[in-house]
Amino acid sequence: MNRRNITIFGAALCLAAVALAASPASAQSSFRNYRCADGSQFTVGFFQYDRRAHLQLDGKAVTLPRRWAMSGERYQGKGVTLRITKAGITTLKHARRRTTTCEQT
């Protein structure tokens, strides 16, 4: 390698390192906290390459696969259903309780 090639390679390596350092974890995942009308609270995590919703509900971790929905998003499994409409309305149904409306905190 000559001096010019080494300089170009070094510059490309520096740019790659800066690009990797500049990508925060928040761009790859999203966590939201909710408080519901029935008094329950939960945290949900969404990850960039995972179509499931990861909930922390009643002290337990629950992973809900994404299901088909007419409008918005629906995640359902293990007796828990989480719906998020396109308008941003979130509802939760779990543990033989009625469906309750939840707000992001």
pTM of the model: 0.72
CA 56/CA 14 separation, integer angstroms: 39
Q: Where are the domains of the chain?
A: 25-104
**Rg (alpha carbons) of the chain, rounded to whole number:** 21
Distances (CA, A) of 96 to 19, 67, 83, 101: 48, 20, 16, 15
**Tens-place pLDDT, residues 24-64:** 444 489 999 999 999 999 999 999 999 999 999 989 999 99
- Kindly state the helix (H) or strand (E) to which residue 35 belongs, with its residue range: strand 29-36
Residue 92 is given by DSSP the state: E
**Structure tokens, 11:** 């510059």
Second-level CATH architecture of 25-104:
Beta Barrel (2.40)
